[in-house]
Chains A and B, each alone.
Chain A
Amino acid sequence: MNTSQKPRTMFDRIWDAHYVATRIDGRDLVYIDRHVLHDLHAPHAFEKLASAARAVRRPDLTFSMQDHTVATKPGRDENTNPDGAHFQRAMREGSQRNGIRIFDLGDPEQGISHVVAPELGLVLPGSMHAVPDSHACTVGGLGAIGLGCGTSELEHILATQTIALKRPKTMRIWLDGHLRPGVGAKDVSLKIIAALGTAVGRGYAIEFAGPIAQALSVEARLTLCNMTIEMGARSGFIAPDDKVFAYLEGRPYMPRGAEWEMARAQWLGLASDEHAVFDKEHRVDCGDLAPQITWGTDQSQTISITEKLPALPQEADARLKMERAFAYMGLEPDTPVQGVKVDRVFIGSCTNARLSDLRMAASMVKGKRVHEGVTAMVVPGSTSVKRAAEQEGLDRIFKEAGFFWGESGCSMCAGGNGDRGRPQERIVSTTNRNFEGRQGKGVRTHLAGPELAAACALAGHIADPRDYLERA
């Protein structure tokens, strides 16, 4: 442990507080406080663990979520998506066998793990939070370190409640400016990737700071941190503040009473010291940020909604890469992005399917109709989000406008439940990855925030959400 008086970063503090030992291969064993599993990867690990005759060390700190393979159709059960049924069954059996609480289909709190864990208070500031899905970084919005892990690592955590890691370097991304109406955390995240690239965070843990990070709501922080993995870093986080504590207080798995006060006092001390030195610092100005949208096949291929698509560069390698992206996306260089016809709109995923996202989209859609020929879907991030949205009447707004209103799950984010687009279909999606084939073979994905996606559903083409805000 580090006992010196040297100024420390928040990451150093959390890492040091979770350091258990150093293995002979030089890796540190780092303790995992909460481990949330999902149906796609856990069954395999359960099986391997059983065949090695190893027990789950801390089933009481482990939670299971059915999210990746579940159908979204109203009235679903495990057989609605026949391809998912055996994953869900194996997940259920493995969890029960090992004494792990499972949030199964039909549970009023089922949903995408990265949405549900914050809601339930399974994420604690200053904790190490592991999930076998790379978007575990989402929970950094609450001041926790989220660690996305592979299947072997998942098995390792089940058996030891630790993960073996090399300590990453620290990076701070300072976000200047303030956000205008119609611009949100998703736009900020895409802007960062456009400015710094998809590999900027390789080998680093990223702390987001500055006026924008502070101003973002807790849910918006979860969105921003969700995209950290798309910057190449495993974990990204924001120092917790009163907003976070207010969000967490009273949630089902939060400490209460005197313990809550003790915890809160500890969490207040997490923030990086004023003179802490980061291995790397970046600054991104989001001052006059317009809504962002990806046009290509990785997230750095992002532009402002007001811009034209880029012209082809001279340099041969870059040109080839861009030509390929244009061909896949069925777009022409140097033409406006607004006006490009859209076939489908998806509002969902652990990036943008919390209540505030749905509220933003609903406020634009209210009293209007989805454009003819567009298939539009809303899939709430959790069953709790769905219930809360229904209490506010958001489901009616969406349904009356012609949106499909689904049951919670990952759905079209990775298509693991069979919700996919058709080849050459153009989708504006609030998810996190626009890779070739991610949402189905040949599908052309444009990533954007919920407001922009809603605007496209109404317009039938790529549109500036602010045009709809003004008229609203």
Chain B
Amino acid sequence: MKAFSTITGIAVPFLEDDVNTDQIAPIPTKRSLKPDYREMFFHRARRLGDDTLNPDQVFNRPQFASPSILVAGRNFGCGSSREGAVWTMQAVGIHVLIARSIADLYRENCLQNGLLPIELPDDKASDIEQRVSAANGRAPFTVDLVTQMISGPGGADIHFDISAADRMRLLEGLDDIGLSLKHEAAIAAFESNMKQTSPWLQRALRAPGTEPKI
């Protein structure tokens, strides 16, 4: 995973509440093992009833053609745990999500993939929402994970909170599995202990004669 430090780029406002993962990355009618995540990005929201692109939809406006930061409302990413809903954001170049709140699984999926999820309290959120809307893609914003600051036109820098652990994970771009495998010995010890205390958990064998007669 790539390490994250600072991103400067266009911020796009999409201020609806309760945006779910089906909206962010609708499952295409033709499923594929290697879907086009760029194409999938808010696929339905970006289209009109007759399937043509809606030129007025914010993601279709030319000034937001390559956004780096998405500013969202409350409970962003609710619904299914589909991780494609993070990959689709990254496919269009978004590396930072700023929202009033973010659904748990979605936030976790962001961290897994190196996308910085920022939750802001209401006063700071309305400030950044107004400024991003006013900038309208004409001037970039900067999100600095080292100093935990958001800066950009229209006002003072905004400090954001993130847990030290999440911050470090993003800053160092830690490979998640590698990080856990450092605890290989603890996992093995856990397993041998579990074999003593609750052996049925460490063994998933089928009892003979329980195959169904069709």
- Chain A residues at the B interface, C-beta cutoff of 8 Å: 20-21, 23-27, 29, 31, 33-34, 41, 43-44, 52, 54, 57, 60-61, 63, 69, 83-84, 86-87, 90, 108-109, 122, 124, 127, 132-134, 148-153, 155-156, 159-162, 164, 198-199, 202-203, 232, 234, 251-256, 259, 262-263, 266, 298, 317, 321, 384, 387, 414-416, 433, 435-438, 441
A139 to chain B, nearest CB (A): 14
Residues of A within 8 A of B144 (CB): none
Given contacts A25-B168, A152-B83, contact A20 B183 (CB under 8 A): yes
A29 to chain B, nearest CB (A): 6
Tell whether B38 is near chain A: CB-to-CB under 8 Å.
Answer: no
B112 with A31: CB separation less than 8 A: no
Closest A residue to B198 by beta carbon equals A266
Q: Which 7 A-B pairs have the closest CB atoms?
A: A26-B165, A252-B210, A255-B200, A150-B83, A25-B165, A152-B112, A21-B186
Residues of A within 8 A of B168 (CB): 24-25
Give Cα distance in the complex from A450 to B103, angstroms: 29
Within 8 A of A (CB), among B116-174: 163-166, 168-169, 174
Given contacts A54-B177, A160-B181, A416-B27, contact A33 B78 (CB under 8 A): no
Given contacts A24-B179, A69-B31, A108-B212, contact A31 B78 (CB under 8 A): no
Give Cα distance in the complex from A23 to B181, angstroms: 10
A122 with B204: CB separation less than 8 A: yes
Interface residue tally on B, bucketed by range: 35 or more
- Chain B residues at the A interface, C-beta cutoff of 8 Å: 17-18, 20, 22-23, 26-27, 30-33, 44, 75, 78-83, 101, 103-105, 108-109, 112-113, 163-166, 168-169, 174, 176-177, 179-183, 186-187, 190-191, 194, 198-207, 210-212, 214
Give Cα distance in the complex from A161 to B181, angstroms: 10
B33 with A44: CB separation less than 8 A: yes
A124 with B186: CB separation less than 8 A: no
Give Cα distance in the complex from A345 to B183, angstroms: 50
A412 to chain B, nearest CB (A): 13
Closest A residue to B44 by beta carbon equals A437
Residues of A within 8 A of B210 (CB): 251-252
Which of A60, A152, A384 is close to B109, meaning CB atoms less than 8 Å apart? A152
A156 with B200: CB separation less than 8 A: no
Which of B18, B112, B198 is close to A150, meaning CB atoms less than 8 Å apart? B112
Give Cα distance in the complex from A86 to B112, angstroms: 26
Give Cα distance in the complex from A438 to B17, angstroms: 18
B52 to chain A, nearest CB (A): 14
Give Cα distance in the complex from A252 to B108, angstroms: 35
Residue among A29, A152, A255 having the largest count of chain B Cβ atoms under 10 Å:
A152
B46 to chain A, nearest CB (A): 13
B33 with A90: CB separation less than 8 A: yes
**10 CB-based A-B contacts, threshold 8 Å:** A21-B183, A24-B165, A52-B177, A57-B187, A83-B30, A86-B32, A148-B81, A150-B82, A234-B105, A263-B200
A26 with B164: CB separation less than 8 A: yes
Residues of B within 8 A of A29 (CB): 180, 183, 186-187
Given contacts A148-B105, A198-B78, contact A441 B44 (CB under 8 A): yes
A253 with B206: CB separation less than 8 A: yes
A282 to chain B, nearest CB (A): 18
Give Cα distance in the complex from A127 to B204, angstroms: 12
A435 with B30: CB separation less than 8 A: no
Given contacts A31-B190, A414-B27, A437-B22, contact A263 B198 (CB under 8 A): yes
Residues of A within 8 A of B174 (CB): 25
Residues of B within 8 A of A384 (CB): 212
List 5 extra interface pairs beyond A86-B32, A437-B26, CB under 8 A.
A29-B183, A134-B81, A155-B177, A253-B205, A433-B80
Give Cα distance in the complex from A152 to B26, angstroms: 19
B81 with A150: CB separation less than 8 A: yes
Residues of A within 8 A of B179 (CB): 23-25, 164
Given contacts A52-B177, A87-B31, A435-B22, contact A26 B163 (CB under 8 A): yes
B80 with A134: CB separation less than 8 A: yes
